[in-house]
Amino acid sequence: MFCNLKTGLMTKPDKALHKVLVCPRTREPLEYVSLDTEAGFLCPATGVLYPVIDGIIIMAPITDDVKKLCLAFFKRQSGALTILGGQFSINETFKALSLVTLAETIDWSSEEMRYWEQRFEKQLKDSDWGRTGWNRTLPRQKLLERLPEEVHRKVILEIGCGGASTLYDVYGETIEKYIGLDLSFNACRLAKRLFPKGLIIQASAESLPLKTESVDLIVAYGVLHHLPHHEQQLTVFLPILKPGGFFIGSDPVLKPRIPRPRLLRKESVSTGAYSSDRHLETGMSPHNEWIDWDNLLAIIKDRAQLVDALFEYSPLRHVLVSLLNNRLGIHSKAVAKLLIDLDRMWLATVGKLSRKLGPGGVIYTLKRTGR
């Protein structure tokens, strides 16, 4: 049984969605296992059990805090797990979830994720956590409205779901088969608040734990540029779609990829400030790069077709959003519409003179056509 964080009541998981789950490491099907008052998903081929904590399937714990939650889960369920006999392997499970030892040295990825966990934890404690982000929702809503009717009643996968507010703002509780995936455990907790009956997975987008051709719509807002392989990651995402299925993404574009040291974000969660740590200068940061739009189109050539694209986010809009939305706290829908209209005027005039003055981002829809 899963816990509905909105009401505190226990809700039944959607068994139909369980059927699309696979092990992210072996691609083998997973089986739902009920344990006392908790549950997990077992991979019979390897003996790995992925625990369900707060209604969230844990597949790739990064920070020590999340790993400790997993360790506590297995300690609580040690007696119940004996009923699985040889099907369950505690050694393989701990190895798969990196629970053998907790982090003893500074690791860039764990520090970066710790930052995001703090950001989403702050939202969990915020009484206004459900506030509509119209500045982003309205343009995305336009592309969603151009999809076939009733697509929101089919299987939807949101990669990098965060708080899942955009889809909820547009469709509300009419979404019946929601799958949310994020590497942040606290982001998953936020998504669970809005979609208590959805399948919420804490896992990496680089190896999706879902069957091939199992999803009707993939939504990935601001995801590709966070991943090490950027637009190349579409070769992993698109096969998850059913033939004719849709992918909606949004990413920064038309800017050069700038080599930089790995970035360690500090404790300034409220401002989002970060500073580089030269001791961690061991490679490229996958965070805050930009996708190559021309390369993206070349990659999807035999796999999907571009259905729609809305270029936006001019320097003017960035300044106005920073002033009105962030500093003055103005979040009204009317102001958001005004900003979007001003943005379009800029891009249609001054923005055509130079790429530096032109669009900083794009929202786009792809339709899967091939394998």
3-class SS at 192? helix
Mean pLDDT of 142-168: 88
Question: Which of 70-74, 174-178, 204-208, 253-257 is predicted least confidently?
Answer: 253-257
The Cα–Cα gap between 131 and 33 comes to 36
Question: Which of 138-142, 171-175, 215-219, 266-270 is predicted least confidently?
Answer: 266-270
For the chain, the domains span 2-105, 116-305
Q: What was the pLDDT predicted at 70? A: 95
User: How does residue 219 score in pLDDT terms, banded at 50, 70 and 90?
Assistant: very high
Mean pLDDT of 151-179: 88
* pLDDT of 236 higher than 90: yes
User: How does residue 274 score in pLDDT terms, banded at 50, 70 and 90?
Assistant: very low
Q: Which residues are registered as beta bridge partners of 11?
A: 2
The Cα–Cα gap between 257 and 234 comes to 18
* pLDDT of 205 higher than 50: yes
Question: Which of 160-174, 267-281, 308-322 is predicted least confidently?
Answer: 267-281
The Cα–Cα gap between 57 and 202 comes to 6
* pLDDT of 249 higher than 60: yes
User: How does residue 43 score in pLDDT terms, banded at 50, 70 and 90?
Assistant: very high
The Cα–Cα gap between 303 and 300 comes to 5
Backbone torsion region of residue 47, taken as left when φ is above 0, otherwise alpha when ψ lies between -120 and 50, otherwise beta: left
* pLDDT of 5 higher than 70: no
Mean pLDDT of 251-275: 47
Q: Which residues are registered as beta bridge partners of 251?
A: 362
Locate all alpha helices (DSSP H) within the chain, ordered by sequence: 15-18, 64-76, 90-96, 108-125, 134-145, 165-171, 185-194, 234-237, 293-299, 315-320, 333-348
User: How does residue 158 score in pLDDT terms, banded at 50, 70 and 90?
Assistant: very high
* pLDDT of 51 higher than 60: yes
Is 156 in contact with 195 (CB distance < 8 Å)?
no
Average pLDDT, the chain: 80
Q: What was the pLDDT predicted at 59? A: 96
Q: Which percentage of the chain shows pLDDT scores above 90? A: 40
Tokens of residue 43, six digits: 């991979």
Q: Which residues are registered as beta bridge partners of 305?
A: 367
pTM reported for the whole predicted model: 0.83
* pLDDT of 266 higher than 50: no
Top-level class of domain 116-305: alpha beta
Look at the block and give the residue holding tokens 């505690």.
90
Tokens of residue 208, six digits: 């999706």
Question: Which of 81-95, 100-114, 138-152, 273-287 is predicted least confidently?
Answer: 273-287
Who has greater pLDDT, 36 or 60?
60
Q: Closest by alpha carbon to 270, among 126, 111, 131? A: 126
